């Protein structure tokens, strides 16, 4: 069941479009903002609101790698694996993160604090390697810097 708040926010988005189906991505983002991810149940609920079949909505959901269809940790770390970061030592940063968190790419820590995902270019090649946690961008990464950053997300 969508909450009243989620419904209201989605309704507001629907008004911006000629066809309400066009608001489906925004609707999923809204639900993800509230719940961290989009469950099968949420897919069915949003689809009903959009006059779409759950299959059609899930088709859109699964196309975008930033719509999470599985639960994620409290903080999602996205580490850039594109060419500039790769040249500047992405692999070391990735290995350091994996070791530090005790997880592989695509996994969530046992305490549910972090999910580690690869991402394509974060648009900050001049300060590679880079990563993003939540909405915050971290640049010119070194293993030491990563240790300090992670401490902020207790």
Partner 1 sequence: MPSLWIDGKTYEVEAGKNLLQVCLSLGLDLPYFCWHPALGSVGACRQCAVKQYRDENDSVGRLVMACMTPVTDGMRITLQDEGSVEFRAMLIEALMTNHPHDCPVCDEGGECHLQDMTVMTGHNYRDFRFKKRTFNNQYLGPFINHEMNRCITCYRCVRFYRDYADGPDLNAFASKNHVYFGRDCDGALESEFSGNLVEVCPTGVFTDKTLKEHYTRKWDLTTAPSVCHHCGLGCNTLAGERYGSIRRIINRYNGAVNGYFLCDRGRFGYDFVNAGTRIREPLASSGETKTQVPVSVEKIQQLVSEMNAGKDKILGIGSPRASLEANYALMKLAGPEHFLDGMAPKESSLVRLALSILRNGPARSVSLQEAGQADAVFILGEDVTHTAPMLALSLRQAARQVCVQKAAKANIPEWHDAAVRELAQEERSPFYIAATGATRLDDVATKKMCVPLDGIARLGLAVAHAIDPSAPAVDGLADSDKQLAGEIAAALMNARHPLVVSGTSSGCSSVLKAAAQITIALARTREKVGISLIVPECNSLGIAMLANGTLENLDERIKSRRYETLVVLENDLYRRLPSAQVDALLESVKRVIVIDHTTSPTSQKAHLVLPAGTFAEADGTLVNNEGRAQRFFQIFAPEGEIQESWRWIRDICPESRGNRKTAWQDLSDVIEALCQDVPALAKIQEAAPTSDFRIKGLRVARQPHRYSGRTAMVAHKTIHEPKPPEDPDSPFSFSMEGYRGIPPAPLIPRFWSPGWNSVQSLNKFQQEVGGELTGGDPGVRLIDPDGSDSPGYFEDVPAVSTCSGDQVQLIPLWRIFGSEEFSVLSEAVQQKIPGMSVIMNPKDAEKANLKTGSMAVIESGDMKLQLPVSLCESQAAGTVAIPAGYRGAAWIDLPALGESGRGMKNERNPLVPDPDCSGSGWHSDCGSQSDLA
Please report, as ranges, the residues that interact with partner 1 according to CB under 8 A. 19, 40, 43, 53-56, 58-59, 62-63, 65
Could you tell me the smallest distance in angstroms from the CB atom of residue 60 to partner 1?
Answer: 9
Closer of 19 and 99 to partner 1 (Cβ): 19
Could you tell me the smallest distance in angstroms from the CB atom of residue 56 to partner 1?
Answer: 6
Phi then psi for residue 136, to 5 deg, are: -100, 130
Closer of 14 and 43 to partner 1 (Cβ): 43
Q: What's the rounded Cα separation, in Å, for the pair 87 and 130? A: 12
Closer of 78 and 93 to partner 1 (Cβ): 78
N-term to C-term CA, the chain: 31
Could you tell me the smallest distance in angstroms from the CB atom of residue 74 to partner 1?
Answer: 25
Q: What's the rounded Cα separation, in Å, for the pair 50 and 11? A: 10
Best CA proximity match to 37, nearest among 71, 4, 13 = 71
């Amino acid at each position: 069941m969508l909450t009243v708040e989620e419904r209201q926010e989605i309704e507001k988005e629907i008004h911006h479009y000629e066809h309400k189906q066009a608001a489906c991505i925004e609707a999923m983002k809204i639900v993800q903002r509230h719940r961290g991810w989009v469950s099968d149940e949420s897919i069915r609920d949003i689809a009903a609101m959009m006059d779409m079949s759950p299959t059609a909505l899930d088709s859109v959901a699964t196309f975008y790698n930033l719509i999470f269809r599985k639960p994620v940790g409290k903080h999602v770390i996205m580490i850039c694996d594109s060419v500039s970061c790769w040249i500047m030592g992405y692999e070391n940063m990735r290995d350091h993160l994996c070791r530090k968190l005790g997880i592989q790419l695509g996994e969530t820590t046992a305490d549910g604090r972090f999910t580690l995902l690869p991402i394509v270019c974060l648009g900050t090649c001049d300060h590679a390697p880079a990563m993003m946690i939540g909405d915050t961008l971290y640049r010119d990464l070194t293993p030491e810097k990563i240790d300090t950053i992670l401490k902020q997300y207790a």
